[in-house]
Amino acid sequence: MGDRRESKTSGGDKREGAMDKAKGRLKEAAGALTGDENKKAEGRDDQRSGTIKEKKGHLKDLFK
């Protein structure tokens, strides 16, 4: 039982990225409605994180 990291598949990274982007859009919209600048910024960060995960999934496809 070593310290093995399990690698996600390219599809898993893409799905997780899409979910992060959707979550980020919702947070940003909620922040805009309530005037909460911190929530808006958090939503934008989630969207960027999602984009990075999606790109990671695409890169994994390229190197198969």
Residue 30 forms part of a structural domain: yes
Mean confidence (pLDDT) of the chain:
89
Residue 2 forms part of a structural domain: no
Residue 24 forms part of a structural domain: yes
- pTM of the entire structure? 0.80
- 38 lies in which domain range? 10-62
Residue 44 forms part of a structural domain: yes
Residue 52 forms part of a structural domain: yes
Higher pLDDT: 20 or 1? It is 20
Residue 28 forms part of a structural domain: yes
Whether 34 shows a pLDDT value over 60: the answer reads yes
Between CA 38 and CA 28 the distance in angstroms is: 9
The secondary structure of residue 63, as a DSSP letter, is: T
Residue 50 forms part of a structural domain: yes
Residue 1 forms part of a structural domain: no
